[in-house]
């Protein structure tokens, strides 16, 4: 691998992972055997939760990083308007097929498949000699369950085109995945698990949490990827995919390329509306066995996701 274009700042303190642990909350993605906070430790920072073999963090409550007040009204209105426009679920026949995924099942005709199961249809016709359309039995491919972890770079200010892209990505995924699992990780120098795979959070709530994060200026892509990889590893789904939304300007922490290969599939949505590092983003996607798609405005997000998820 080529050396990083920038020399990242080496962090003296462990990064923090914000999320609600404990009963009824959001379990944080730590490996089996890693120490967790007990109820008596709830008000303290709890070090040494092993996310991966190379990354430690401090577990903290999500409420610490969310603004008590509502997001900026104009920004929130714009983001939710984009989300509403993109969150209309497409009909199943319009979805990109899973490559080799799923299995074929017989079912009543629903104006989709034209692969008629003659034997089963004849059985139905013996009881209903004047059939309706729905009495015809066809064979349809039923997709396997998919888990997706969206990892969003929120370093700097979440305004302008950056927040539009984030809103479009959350909306497009929550609208198209339907019954599949979606987790949301936001990162800067630290990271936050805003919605876990095992307990799906509605898209508007995910977006609201994303808009209320108090962030810093540094970008630790390595830590964001570490949190995402640990969360995805908890899934039992056959298809497990991560999507990284970032400008790839990595300026704090270890080289993020060392984490990328731990994903079953890792795609990169590269934000190109401002400064960005295309070579690093390409390396991350290549090592993650995924693809890279540039996105300059929020309108580029949905077409890029269609291509990415159609390949997994």
Domain boundaries, the chain: 60-92+144-311, 103-142
**Range of weakest confidence among 14-23, 55-64, 192-201:** 14-23
162 band by pLDDT with thresholds 50, 70 and 90: confident
Q: Measured between alpha carbons, how far is 162 from 297 in angstroms, rounded to an integer?
A: 8
CA angle (17 as vertex; 190, 199 as ends), nearest 5: 130
Mean pLDDT of the chain: 75
Candidates 198, 255, 213, 275; CA nearest to 68 is 213
Measured distance CA(197)–CA(179) in Å, rounded: 12
In sequence order, the β-bridge partners of residue 66 are: 213
Predicted local confidence at residue 160, as pLDDT: 76
Q: Looking at the predicted structure, is the pLDDT value of residue 213 above 80?
A: yes
Banded pLDDT at 127 (limits 50, 70, 90) = low
pLDDT over 80 (residue 167): yes
Give pLDDT, residue 44: 35
What's the whole-number mean pLDDT along residues 155-183? 80
User: Residue 216 corresponds to which tokens in the numbers above?
Assistant: 């810093």
Contact 185, 224 (CB under 8 A): yes
Residue 134 in this model has a pLDDT that exceeds 70 = no
- Region 211-233 average pLDDT: 90
pLDDT surpasses 60 at 47:
no
Give yes or no for residue 255 having a pLDDT over 90.
Answer: yes
Q: How much is the pLDDT for 236?
A: 87
In the CATH scheme, what is the code of domain 60-92+144-311?
3.40.50.410
Q: Taking residues 24-43, report their average pLDDT.
A: 45
Per-residue pLDDT band at 176 (split at 50, 70, 90)? low
Query: pTM for this one?
Result: 0.73
Confidence band for 30, pLDDT divided at 50, 70 and 90: low
Measured CA to CA in angstroms, residue 106 lies from 8, 88, 96, 187 at distances of: 55, 28, 21, 44
Token output for 47: 């070090």
């Amino acid at each position: 691998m080529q050396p990083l274009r920038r020399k990242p700042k080496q962090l003296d303190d462990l990064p923090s992972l914000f999320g609600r642990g404990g009963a009824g909350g959001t379990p944080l993605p730590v490996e089996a055997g890693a120490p967790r906070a007990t109820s008596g430790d709830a008000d303290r920072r709890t070090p040494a939760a092993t996310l991966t073999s190379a990354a430690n963090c401090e577990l903290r409550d999500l409420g610490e990083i969310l603004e008590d007040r509502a997001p900026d009204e104009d920004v929130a209105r714009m983001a939710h308007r984009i989300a509403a426009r993109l969150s209309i679920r497409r009909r199943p026949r319009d979805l990109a097929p899973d490559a080799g995924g799923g299995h074929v099942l017989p079912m009543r005709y629903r104006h989709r498949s034209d692969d008629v199961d003659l034997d089963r249809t004849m059985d139905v016709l013996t009881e209903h000699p004047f059939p309706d359309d729905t009495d015809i039995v066809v064979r349809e491919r039923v997709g396997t369950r998919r888990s997706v972890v969206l990892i969003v770079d929120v370093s700097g200010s979440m305004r302008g085109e950056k927040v539009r892209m984030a809103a479009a990505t959350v909306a497009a995924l929550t609208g198209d995945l339907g019954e599949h699992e979606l987790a949301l990780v936001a990162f800067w120098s630290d990271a936050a698990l805003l919605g876990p795979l095992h307990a799906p959070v509605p898209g508007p709530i995910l977006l609201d949490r994303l808009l209320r994060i108090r962030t810093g200026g540094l970008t630790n892509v390595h830590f964001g990827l570490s949190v995402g990889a640990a969360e995805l590893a908890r899934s039992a789904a056959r298809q497990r995919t991560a999507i990284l939304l970032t400008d790839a300007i990595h300026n704090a922490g270890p080289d993020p390329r060392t984490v990328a290969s731990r994903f079953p599939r890792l795609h990169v949505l590269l934000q190109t509306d401002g400064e960005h590092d295309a070579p690093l983003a390409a390396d991350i996607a290549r090592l993650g066995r995924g693809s890279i798609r540039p996105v300059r405005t929020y309108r580029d997000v949905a077409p890029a996701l269609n291509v990415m998820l159609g390949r997994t």
